Amino acid sequence: DTGVSQNPRHKITKRGQNVTFRCDPISEHNRLYWYRQTLGQGPEFLTYFQNEAQLEKSRLLSDRFSAERPKGSFSTLEIQRTEQGDSAMYLCASSWGTDYGYTFGSGTRLTVV
């Protein structure tokens, strides 16, 4: 296992289009987190899964955002009807739990034009 993998690395889309990102966590990790990071800011929590259950969602996650983790393995984050304000780096991390360290993916950089 080479760590947390995110695809694609970069995505440019037109405003109004839908986009989907994928995160493959470390296979033994039961927790998976999505974060969003805008330029010059620290990452902000979006949502988290324990196995296949989505246990928490930030109020930052509007109705246009949906995340899934079928079978408790990889996760997808979909943004519908993208807006320019959605342009950011979307980071995925996985862990065994809050008593353990996190492993981050390299992120997906979204640009909405």
Partner 1 sequence: KNEVEQSPQNLTAQEGEFITINCSYSVGISALHWLQQHPGGGIVSLFMLSSGKKKHGRLIATINIQEKHSSLHITASHPRDSAVYICAVNPYSGGGADGLTFGKGTHLIIQP
Residues near partner 1 (CB under 8 A): 31, 33, 35, 37, 40-48, 50, 55-56, 58, 89, 91, 93, 97-104, 106-107, 109
> Between residues 9 and 81, which has the closer beta carbon with respect to partner 1?
9
In angstroms, the CA 43 to CA 22 distance is: 18
Q: Is the dihedral of CA 81, 31, 44, 7 positive or negative?
A: negative
Residue type, 15: R
Tell me how far, at minimum, the Cβ of 108 lies from partner 1, in Å. 9
Give the dihedral sign, CA 70/67/19/28.
Answer: negative
Closer of 47 and 75 to partner 1 (Cβ): 47
The distance of closest approach from Cβ of residue 16 to partner 1 in the complex, given in angstroms and rounded to an integer, is 25
